[in-house]
Amino acid sequence: MRWSDLGRSRNLEDQRGGGGGFGMGRIGIGGVILVFIIALITRQNPLSLLQQVEGGSPTSGVPAPPVNDPSEEPEVRFVSFVLDTAQATWRQLLPASGTAWHDAKLVLFRDQVASACGLASAASGPFYCPGDEKVYIDLGFYDELKNRFGAPGDFAQAYVLAHELGHHVQRLLGLDARVRGAQRQDPSQENALSVRLELQADCYAGVWAHTAAQEGILESGDVEEGLAAAAAVGDDRLQRMGGGAVQPETWTHGSSEQRVSWFRRGFSSGAPGACETFRGN
């Protein structure tokens, strides 16, 4: 990718130092669990309770101080660039469909983090939380993407972030809420609806890639890196890697072929309207 170092995005929250995540250093995982149980019983905000124990204010909206890790800083600048260019694309595209856009935040964390969607560890992989409209990424995932899943390259990394931002698009369009409601009404369709939601996010990532290509950001081989990343995290491939049988009824994200197909569809069209996974096959 032809990317420019424009510094850290204003939408970046660096919690790798633990300033905005749950504090493991002072009270430990047992204490964290106890705090969340108390919060459930008393119907209080668990993050507020946790911070009372540890000191500070994670809900104040003030980002944690930047972590000075020279080895990771180039990657921080890279994800900042992808974040800002992807959101600039949707800032142009979404209002055309009658929906106002506002930016998501990107939270960098290490090992574990607390979000409005609950506690999460790095093992969960990158995710978007509609409750706080933030994307969460442990930068160590990119090493896994390259070394474990066999999908190297900077555009493979960009695809992951663009996919998660696709969930923010769904949030603003109201698609996420409608799907969650449908899943509650018919739990037997929970996985099938999740697959369609995830494939649409893949397609939205392709829509951004289309714009990036037009703007001269992409280089030869970048699209192939994105397609390889999409294929690498298909449910069927992950099941094979895990030594189990391929079970389509258990999928939540779609097969490698499906993920590649929908990313390609978004990239070819550059139009959000081409990403109607709830109507297409």
Give the model confidence (pLDDT) of 95-152 as tens digits: 988 999 999 999 999 999 999 999 998 888 999 999 999 999 999 999 999 999 999 9
Q: Are 155 and 223 in contact (CB under 8 A)?
A: yes
Residue 214: which of 162, 273, 161, 270 has the closest Cα?
A: 270
Residue 202: which of 256, 157, 166, 243 has the closest Cα?
A: 166
Residue 17: what pLDDT? 79
Taking the C-alpha atoms of residue 263 and residue 206, their distance in angstroms, rounded to an integer, is 5
Residue 33: what pLDDT? 61
Q: Are 115 and 108 in contact (CB under 8 A)?
A: no
User: Hey, what are 149's tokens?
Assistant: 């899943």
Residue 174: what pLDDT? 95
Residue 70: what pLDDT? 81
Q: Are 228 and 156 in contact (CB under 8 A)?
A: yes
Q: How many CB atoms lie within 10 A of CB 66?
A: 16
Please list, in sequence order, all residues whose beta carbon lies within 8 angstroms of the beta carbon of residue 63, skipping any fewer than 6 positions away. 12, 13, 14, 15, 19, 20
Taking the C-alpha atoms of residue 235 and residue 240, their distance in angstroms, rounded to an integer, is 9
Taking the C-alpha atoms of residue 174 and residue 138, their distance in angstroms, rounded to an integer, is 27
Residue 170: what pLDDT? 97
Residue 221: what pLDDT? 94
| Average per-residue pLDDT for the chain | 86
Residue 21: what pLDDT? 43
What type of residue is 271? A
Which residue is it, tokens 């090493």? 143
> Across the 281 residues of the chain, what is the mean pLDDT of every consecutive 10-residue run?
93 80 46 58 57 45 60 94 97 92 96 92 92 95 92 94 97 95 94 95 97 95 94 92 90 95 96 89 54
Residue 31: what pLDDT? 55
Q: Are 272 and 97 in contact (CB under 8 A)?
A: yes
User: Hey, what are 209's tokens?
Assistant: 């890639």
